[in-house]
Structure 1
Amino acid sequence: MQKRTTDGSPATREEPPIASGTVSHDDPNTARPRSGLGLLARRIHFLAGFAVAPFLAVMCLTGLANAFTPQIVDTVHQQELFVDTDTGAPRPVSDQVAAALAAHPEGTVKAVIPPPDEDRTTRVVMSMPGLPDVDEFADEDLTVYVNPNTNRVQGELITVKDRPPAQAWLRHSHGNLHLGPPGRLYSEFATTWLPVIVACGLALWVAQRRSDGTSGLFTRSRRSSSTYARLRGLHGSLGLLLSLGIVALAVTGFSQSNYVGDRVDQLLESVGSSEPQLEAEKVPLSPGEEQIGVDRVVETAEAEGMRGELTITAPAEPGAVWEVAETATGWPIRKDSIAVDPHTGQVIERVTFDDYPFLAKLNVLGVQAHDGTLFGIVNQVVVSLLALGTLVLIALAYRMWWNRRPRHALWPPTPAPVWRSLSKAQLLTVVIACAILAWAMPVLGVTLIGFVVLDTVINTVKRRRTRT
């Protein structure tokens, strides 16, 4: 006879805890994949996910802040970025540059960025004695912000590639935790393993559907299911929903990473898909011939139809050309650049976004989508939802892991080793795939070797303890 509660409703049977040192693999709520590859996917998903999750959580939190960089920077540096008065007509750009040089005569002008909007200041980027050039990601300059209507210097900031301090801080928090080049390993560790973890998770989801005989896209757990089964169903459904976006975020971040970024550059170069660059050489200087000023360069760029934010790079030496590039982010993409003759003001070379190879275009679009700048606020919301969803997935995964711990055990069990369950063909396929991934993603390769060595040592110690 079925037991009932005091109100007459059927009593829910409490599932007894797992005995110490054992894992119930026969329970349908904890069904295991039967194939060797399925078991391998389960072990990789668990062990790699367990190790990567803390780093991934940090990336999600810093990525949330980084996605809203434009709003944060405008708020923090409002005094420098926005004009304090918009009365009067804009002054010549050369006068604004002169005002910046008057404030810092020891500096050398590297670039000038006229305001893309009427309420913005002009940015004059200057190299200064004493500012370090650590590497291509951390060379510092002094940027002077000039009101284009009054020529008044509104402020100055130490910038990294024209990124003001707030933007540089957010970028370094997400990319290297302010630890410099060694810190970039943490983000590369998380992003390179993420697609592998997602792929193994999808394999487990397919195996679970076959085991349960379900036909729906998302798994629905019965009310009588165990807590673990309900958590697994929620984790699997949410993971399936977010999988494409999560992998897209990871892949679009590859080109901005260290070792994988080098591999991406090598791949693009090998197939002739590198981002085209201006290659204009120095122009011979005739006796008595003077060089044009920045005002003439601005006129030339506008006549060429260049719009939005323009970064004007000054000649580094006599005879070198002026370069003008469209550097605004967002859709539609504007990435044209021109080289201007320093004596005649004529355009001697032009590269447009249409000249970019297909893969180079995809790379530009991917980087902007990753940073949340491609489609404005919509892009920022999507990136934020993916980051928050990933944090929920991590929390569910750790909750599942903790829920499965045996009675009187301090830690839950890990999936059993599966290498011996693979056929020779499967093992060879796995080894080849790992070798390819290790070449393409060196950080993944090194940590994979570390995982295998550590896993082997731990299981060897366990077997010896069992024998004794």
Structure 2
Amino acid sequence: MTTMTRPPVDEPHADGPPPKPNRSRGWFPQLLLRLHFYAAIFVGPFILVAATSGALYALTPQLEQLVYAEQLHAPEADEYLPLADQIEAANAYTKDQDTIVAVRPAPNPGDTTRVMYAGTGLGESETRAVFVDPATAQIRGDLTAYGTSGALPLRTWIDQLHRNLHLGEVGRLYSELAASWLGVIALAGLGLWIARIRKARTKKDFVRPNNRAKGYRRILSWHTSTGIWLLVGALFLSATGITWSQYGGGNVGTLRAAFDWSTPSVTTDLSGESAAADEHAGHGGATAPTSDTAAVTANPATFDAVLSIAREVNVNTGLVEIKPPATVGTAWVVQEIQRSFPTEVDAVAIDGQTMQVTDRVDFKDFNLAAKLTRWGIDTHMGSMFGLPNQLLLVALASGIIAMVVWGYVMWWQRRPTRGPGRIVGRTPARGAIRRAPWWGIVAVLIVAAGIGTLLPLLGLSLAAFVVVDVLLGLRTRLRSAEIE
């Protein structure tokens, strides 16, 4: 009997090296985590101040009506005086010492007329507003107003806190950092949310908080689920806020001009030259003549005449501003200033000598970019949809405040419970760039360069984060080498 034996079969890869793990896997979420962490830690205080002051500003229209009721309102009457009589009363009150730069007729029965002057001691975009009872020409108040919104002192104070911390141009850097980084932090958070929800067994905890969890995990659940609901609003506030900023906003304006997306404005120069409008006039930008342009004295009777002509052209709302010529050879301008829906910002230029219409601009003819800019800014300020708009902004700002606070709480909760020295948590693990494929590194550099060019302050702060991170890494390596 012959026994047949089968030759041994070689196991595949039995004698070869094991397959190498994919070192680049997970590099991008790790990079997003470090970006989200560093940006939130260092820029969080700025975002916290901006969100808090923004929530306060959203409530100022009602506060203004309450605090300045005497100046803003007057008893209703059956008949009202011509604008000329109201302006003459205001001129008599000021003793003709200041120059009129604009008049805002009473928009509704029970409101007052504003006669606005350029005067000494006023800041940029500020005017002296004299409030006149349109029925009796009685002077009901004399306050400083700010911007096209006509903000009175209380609202102006909160606005400047939100805009520059009352530190002037230097203070604007804070709000630019907050607006620029808010969008980046939100998008990095979205990337982390997507990476984690793909691996999670229970996905509902990513869209609603898990109150059964304890400690760090509970706060993380609230932070994660709230953040995804606030994402669109945070990106909106970031994008619209950047347009107000000093450096990033200037670049956005240049980009819009290059694509012919600027907001049109009426030509006031009777020789035919024109200039673009300032969409941010509500937070500043109301033009007051300088000392060399204040020589033009407007006849009070002309205000009635140009308003009557404008009513026949395209001005059909109660919220109107009439501007006399700033210099010789320029036109009168009658401009709608209704920032609530439906937007009314039509304008007409009128030659004060011939009473001929020299130019007009209608909102319906704005390009799409200009319309979106107008709507975005007005929504950001809370004026677009009235009280619902204001309440939504307060809720959004409150959510952002909570997100920042939760972030710092989690940082503290992750601190080592044993060992000396640490009162806060460790930073997320480094090494994402070293593990990234070459194309990933190139993509990151291109995106960073593009964003840094458009938003210089964000680019500089990002570079500072990288330098700090590298120095901290070197210090850790040196300490490890000393211990060994």
1:331-382 alpha-carbon deviations (Å, 9 max, x no partner): 0010100001212323221100012110010000000110111000110111
Distance 2:452 2:211 in 1: 44
Q: 1:55 aligns with which of 39, 46, 51?
A: 46
Residue 121 of structure 1 corresponds to 112
Aligned residues: 425
**Could you tell me which residue of structure 1 aligns to residue 76 of structure 2?**
86
Alignment match of 1:341 (pick from 335, 351, 368)? 351
Aligned CA distance change for structure 1 residues 291 and 117 (closer, same or farther; 3 Å): closer
Matches within 5 A, 1:285-300: 293-300=302-309
TM-score under structure 1 length normalisation? 0.86
Deviates more, 1:33-42 or 1:229-238: 33-42
The 1:446/1:345 distance shift into structure 2, 3 A limit, reads same
Distance 1:81 1:355 in 2: 33
1:256 partner SS: coil
Deviation at 1:327, TM superposition (A): 0.6
Asked if the contact 2:412/2:423 (under 8 Å) is kept, the reply is no
Counterpart for residue 139 of structure 2: 153
1:460 and 2:466 aligned: no
How far the C-alpha of 1:68 sits from its partner, in A, is 1.5
Cα–Cα, structure 1 residues 333 and 139, in superposed 2: closer, same or farther, change >3 Å? Answer: closer
- Look up the match of 2:404: 394
- Aligned counterpart, 1:236: 224
Q: Which residues of 2 match residues 167-206 of structure 1 at below 5 A?
A: 167-206=155-194
Q: Structure 2 unaligned runs (5+)?
A: 1-23, 273-298
Root-mean-square deviation (CA), in Å?
2.1
Deviates more, 1:88-97 or 1:314-323: 314-323
Q: How many angstroms apart in 1 are the aligned matches of 2:144 and 2:212?
A: 61
Dislocated runs of 4+, deviation >4 Å: 214-217, 219-226
Letter in 1 for 2:346: D
Residue by residue over 1:226-260, the C-alpha shift from the partner in whole angstroms, topping out at 9 and shown as x without a partner, is 53223222211111111111111111112112112
Query: Do the aligned partners of 1:292 and 1:344 also contact (CA within 8 Å) in 2?
Result: no
Is contact 1:319–1:342 with CA below 8 Å preserved after alignment?
Answer: no
Residue number in structure 1 paired with 2:16: none
For the structure 1 residues 153 and 283, does the alpha-carbon distance in structure 2 shift closer, same or farther, using more than 3 Å as the test?
A: farther
Structure 1 residues 152 and 385, CA, compared in 2 at 3 Å: closer, same or farther?
same
Instruction: Supply the AA of the counterpart residue of 2:185.
Output: I
Per the alignment, residue 434 of structure 2 pairs with 420
Shift of 1:317: 3.3
Counterparts of 2:101 and 2:197, CA distance in 1: 60
Query: 1:247 corresponds to which residue?
Result: 235
Give the counterpart letter for 2:312 in structure 1.
A
> How far did 1:158 drift?
2.1
Relative distance call for 1:224 and 1:367 in structure 2 (3 A) is: closer
Unaligned stretches of 5+ in structure 1?
1-32, 285-289
Counterpart contact for 2:209–2:225, Cα < 8 Å: no
SS at match of 1:407: coil
- Greater Rg over alpha carbons, structure: 2
Q: Secondary structure at the match of 2:171?
A: helix
Partners of 1:404 and 1:412 within 8 A in 2? yes
Change in Cα spacing, 1:222 to 1:391, as seen in structure 2 (3 Å) is closer
Match of 1:141 among 101, 110, 127: 127
Aligned-partner Cα distance in 1 for 2:39–2:187: 12
Cα deviation for residue 223 of structure 1 reads: 7.8
Residue pairs, 1:7-26, within 5 angstroms: none
TM-score by length of 2: 0.84
Give the superposition deviation at 1:400: 1.6
**Aligned residue number for residue 434 of structure 1:** 448
Partner AA of 1:148 in structure 2 = P
Output the CA distance in 2 between the equivalents of 1:177 and 1:385: 22
Deviation at 1:320, TM superposition (A): 2.3
Using the alignment, how far apart are the partners of 1:312 and 1:250 within structure 2? 33
Residue of structure 1 equivalent to 2:90: 100
Q: Secondary structure at the match of 1:181?
A: coil
How many percent identity over aligned positions? 34
Indicate conservation of the 8 Å contact 2:88/2:300, yes or no: no
Cα distance between partner residues in 1 of 2:336 and 2:480 = 67
Whether 2:385 is the aligned partner of 1:371: answer no
Q: 1:227 to 1:313 in 2, by over 3 A?
A: same
Q: Note the 1:202-351 alignment, pairs <5 A.
A: 202-216=190-204, 218=206, 227-282=215-270, 293-306=302-315, 307-351=317-361
Question: What is the CA–CA distance in structure 2 between the aligned matches of 1:272 and 1:314, rounded to whole Å?
Answer: 29
